Amino acid sequence: MAKVRASYVCNSCGYQSAKPLGRCPNCQAWNSFEEEAPALTTKGRGGAYGGITGGKLTALSTVGRREEPRTSSGIAELDRVLGGGLVAGGVTLIGGEPGIGKSTLLLQVADRVATAGGPVLYVAGEESLEQIRLRADRLGVTAEIQLTRDTRAEHVAALMAEHKPALCIVDSIQTVTVEGEGAPGGVAQVRDGTAMLTRAAKETGTATVLVGHVTKDGTVAGPKVMEHIVDTTVFLETVGAFRLLRSVKNRFGQAGELGVFEMRGEGLIAVENPSAAFLAERPVGVAGSVVAATVDGQRPMLLEVQALASKTPYPNARRVVVGLDPRRVDVVLAVLERRLDLTLGGLDVYVNLAGGLKVPDPGLDLAVALAVYSAVVGRALPGNVAVFGEVGLAGEVRSTQAALRRAEEARRAGYTRLVVPPGLDGQAGVKSVEEAVGAVWTPSGAR
């Protein structure tokens, strides 16, 4: 006899429970549980699996090799994040805060792909066709894009099978409905809609992009299984005056890639040289300012680490850190006091990573040390110096990941003196914080 198991799922994070709960223990959302269709567990007379025989097996050595064909999105920064472009039959999920520019970016992509000759299907679940036309006029979209307001997953899959578009954009997956699954946006709707569209994309070879809403925690709203179903997951976030597109999952490329955009009246414009953009407003010849070479994801960039030290009016000195790991900064300050005899007890110390980025990179330790030292002694670093390296508790300077890429980015930007750990390109480097201080303010210390 079949056993019926009741199941309740949180429509915010996908947490499952055998009974409805007032508050989700996973995401802390209130009144978010919905009942799912009961699962049936059948035990037949032919054994534990009802006499069902297994499917066909295929040896790995007999499976052919095939490179998935890619289509350029027409935007170099997006192609970089995706690993080279849109993959035929691949499904990409893009998330981000409301109004951050997801629909704007995808309409620009639709224009580029359609202009290159590939038919594009745009499923508008949140806006009217007239609203999309207004945005298209503002962005200067001239290509012919096929639009539909029909968000039923079965009908969208049928349109993909009939027209075989090169690109299908679904804005958004939370508006897609599956017959007999409840209200749009529910856990079952989002999960089954994603699975149905993914299956259609694989069968038709259509590159598909799904727009996903995000929760207050910044994660994509809906069941976590949705992110497992798709091939690529990217997030668009705001950092100062820029938009960062970051990949967190990519079956066809390297995860962790970063793309930088700037929002303008004509849409999202790719920033081809992020290092120059983040250093554009850096003050020259000011104590406490250091150019640091870092790696965010897989991308090397030059950023400015700032430090300020002032006499404290409080019994306990303040330590304020923005954009960096406060615990690592505390370690660096302790090393400066112990190894360089730098007195910080009566000083408020402020450390900032300029530009609004948050980078938990140990390779910024040496830049923090030099910035704080510069701010305390009142000596500015030379304008052609770039720094990176991890600082240990003994004051030693340790190597970092992607050191060669950091150095190449610094040299490309015109920084001829690098204060770096030993072993880079066969150079001596600096072995301690004391050596780093000497290398910065001594002409013979150029690396």
Ligand-binding site membership of 431 (annotated)? no
Ligand-binding site membership of 274 (annotated)? no
Residue 189, CA atoms < 13 Å, CB-side half-sphere: 21
Ligand-binding site membership of 132 (annotated)? no
Ligand-binding site membership of 103 (annotated)? yes
Q: Which residue shows structure tokens 């958004």?
A: 172
Q: Which residue shows structure tokens 């050595």?
A: 61
Query: For residue 103, which phi and psi values (nearest 5 degrees)?
Result: -65, -35
Q: Measured at the alpha carbon of residue 293, what is the angle toward residues 80 and 420, in degrees to the nearest 5? A: 135
Tokens at residue 18, please? 């055998």
Tokens at residue 143, please? 């290509």
Single out the residue of 409, 408, 407, 410 nearest to residue 421, CA to CA.
407
Single out the residue of 336, 311, 335, 331 nearest to residue 321, CA to CA.
331
Burial of 205 (0-12, 13-18, 19+ CB in 10 A): middle
Q: Is residue 92 a contact partner of residue 209, using CB atoms and an 8 Å limit? A: yes
A 10 A CB-CB count for 219 gives: 16
Ligand-binding site membership of 14 (annotated)? no
Ligand-binding site membership of 96 (annotated)? yes
Would the CA dihedral through 253, 243, 321, 411 be positive or negative? positive
Ligand-binding site membership of 98 (annotated)? yes
Ligand-binding site membership of 345 (annotated)? no
Q: 239 Cβ partners below 8 Å, 6+ apart?
A: 355, 356, 357
Tokens at residue 106, please? 């995808």
Burial of 39 (0-12, 13-18, 19+ CB in 10 A): exposed
267 vs 139: CA distance, rounded Å: 6
3-state SS, one letter per residue, for 346-400? CEEEEEEECCCCCCCCHHHHHHHHHHHHHHHHCCCCCCCEEECCEECCCCEEECC
Polymer length of the chain = 447
Query: For residue 239, which phi and psi values (nearest 5 degrees)?
Result: -135, 105
Annotated binding site: 96-103
Annotated binding site for ATP: 96-103
